Each structure stands twice: as C-alpha cells, then as structure tokens.
Amino acid sequence: NLYNKDAIVVEPAGALALAGLVQYAEKIIGKTVVCILSGSNNDITRIEEIREKALLYGGYKHYFMVRFPQRAGALKEFVAEVLGKNDDITYFQYHKKHNRAHGPAIVGIELKHKTDLTPLIERMKAKNFFSDYLNNKPELFSMMM
C-alpha cells in the first residue's frame, strides 16, 4: 500500500516496522502506536518489481494459464464475458498452436478487490477458458515470469 496507494518509496528494511504493525493490527486496536518509516535506498529500476510483488502478496494480482479457442473473437469474448468491470489484463503471452482447437496463454490480471478472484475463476470455468492458477505454483511461476 505504501507504494501503490500512497506513492511512498521506502527500502524494504525501512518498511519493516509497518509490516510488523500490519501483523499485529488486531492486537493493538485502541492503543497509541508509533511506526517509523526510513530510507529510500532503492534501485529505481526495481520499482516495477517491487510493485508487482506487493500486488501479488496483497492478493490483487493473479496469473493464469488460459485456454483460448483458436477462433476469431475468442479474446473479445474473454474480455467481455469473463473479466469483471474493474479487472485489468496486465500480462498476456499467447502461444499459437497449429492444428489444435485451443492455444495456451499466460494471463496476468490485476483486481480492484481481492474478493473478485473467486467470481473471476468461476466465470473462466463456466466459459471453458480456465486451465490453471499459477500464483500458488512458485517453480512454474518463476520459470515463466
């Protein structure tokens, strides 16, 4: 949230106090707490990587293996009938296969609300686009991303 919502850039060690605060949020309700954010010793070229990891950890970004029918209009159908109105495709890698009914694609989707994940997967399955959820497969996920 520091980076994505508040546009505050701190180095990972500098955000440690806030990360701890989040972990103890329920236990410190009604108490006065001071949290010090420090440092911005970051490699500016890693900002997008930091944002990506924050979205993944926060449950807002998800990667899927999607089965696209190899016919005209399949992507349009996916966007119109599967994605929610606030869902954004942030990554798309398609592999066209000849003489096959379906072609695999890796699709990254950023959600506005974490609770939108289950309905998204249900719509993918209902329209026969769903193949696999990749966020919980670190070995496969790291090879592709």
Domain ranges of the chain: 12-54, 59-144
For the entire predicted model, the pTM comes to 0.73
pLDDT at position 4: 64
Q: Which residue has the tokens 């980076």?
A: 3
- Measured on CA atoms in the order 40, 46, 48, 51, is the torsion positive or negative? negative
3-state class of 128 per DSSP? coil
Band of the pLDDT at 102, cuts 50, 70, 90? confident
3-state class of 34 per DSSP? coil
pLDDT at position 2: 67
Q: What is the mean pLDDT of the chain?
A: 85
Note the pLDDT tens digit of each residue in 28-55. 999 988 887 777 666 777 778 878 888 8
CATH topology assigned to domain 59-144: Alpha-Beta Plaits (3.30.70)
pLDDT at position 103: 82
pLDDT at 127 over 80: yes
pLDDT at position 89: 96
Q: What is the mean predicted confidence (pLDDT) over 84-98? A: 87
Which tokens go with 70?
């190899």
C-beta neighbour count of 81 within 10 angstroms: 12
> Measured between alpha carbons, how far is 76 from 24 in angstroms, rounded to an integer?
44
pLDDT at position 34: 85
